[in-house]
Amino acid sequence: MALVTGAAGHVGRVFAETLAELGARVVILDLDASGCADVATSLEDSWGVDAMPCPLDLADPKAVGSVPGQVLERFSQLDILVHCAALVGTASMEGWATDFEGQSMAHWPDALQVNLTAPVALTQACANSLKLSGHGSVINVGSHLGIVGPDWQIYEGSNFSTPAAYAASKGGLVQMTRWLATTLAPDVRVNAISPGGIRRDQQDSFIDKYSQRTPLGRMANEDDLRGALAFLASDLSAYVTGQNLIVDGGYTAW
């Protein structure tokens, strides 16, 4: 049985679908209530698995603490916990996706709460259930920007930037993966997946520059992450913990 946070988003939905395809029952946790319901219905219709929508604000500590009880009441066990939820931000957030001089510290608490504190708090709340499952696996979703600094040449001429708060929170999550791995061992494995840049609606100039900077010659898509998730969620990785699996087309290999 798997719990996926941020499952109404692009990556989270693909992760939920991947786990359902493998036969897992899935709890869909997201701030978007209608999105949770839509994904749950889609999983049940497509894969015939039991899926439970769980709309919840990860910035609310009391709500986070209530999750294990809701999951166990419905499914009686928890085997896999995937942290996909993240405050990525948009250009509409003043002082977020702009040059460093213009980035506002007002967004740092929110970024750290959703991207770093909430995954740790939810893992803490679910730890006992994961231990009892006998196959406990926690998978955090980091970012290549939590590993290396941004190549600003790629952003030249584009209408967006990469916020320092996002990079710091994702870097912290990768380090917490190691901390949690040694802390929850040997009962629960904890690993991370750090995707490279994912192609969506970026400007063509940015996509071209990013692709030229990447050994495999393109940006990622969500489907590129399916295999990494299936590996870390299953007993295929039974002797793997504390690792950060980088799925970036070789971007960080230079």
239-252 confidence digits (pLDDT tens): 999 999 999 999 99
pLDDT value at 23 more than 60: yes
Q: Give one DSSP letter per residue of 99-138, joined into a string.
A: -GGG--GGGHHHHHIIIIIHHHHHHHHHHHHHHHHSSEEE
pLDDT value at 92 more than 80: no
The predicted model gives 184-208 an average pLDDT of: 96
Residue 60's SS3 state is: coil
Of the listed ranges 10-19, 59-68, 87-96, 220-229, the least confidently predicted one is 87-96
Write the CB contacts of 185 (distance below 8 Å, at least 6 apart in sequence): 241
The predicted model gives 188-214 an average pLDDT of: 96
The predicted model gives 202-222 an average pLDDT of: 96
pLDDT value at 205 more than 70: yes
How is residue 235 annotated by DSSP? G
Which sequence positions are flagged as catalytic?
Answer: 166
| Domain boundaries, position 230 | 2-253
Q: Say how far apart CA 4 and CA 164 lie, in whole Å.
A: 26
pLDDT of residue 91: 57
Residue 51: CATH number of its domain: 3.40.50.720
The predicted model gives 26-52 an average pLDDT of: 96
- Residue 121: phi and psi, rounded to 5, are -65, -40
Kindly state the percentage of the chain with pLDDT values over 90: 80
Q: Looking at the 3D structure of the chain, how many domains does it have?
A: 1
Helix segments in the chain, DSSP class H: 10-21, 33-47, 61-75, 108-112, 118-133, 152-155, 164-184, 204-213, 226-233
46-56 confidence digits (pLDDT tens): 999 999 999 99
109-118 confidence digits (pLDDT tens): 888 999 999 9
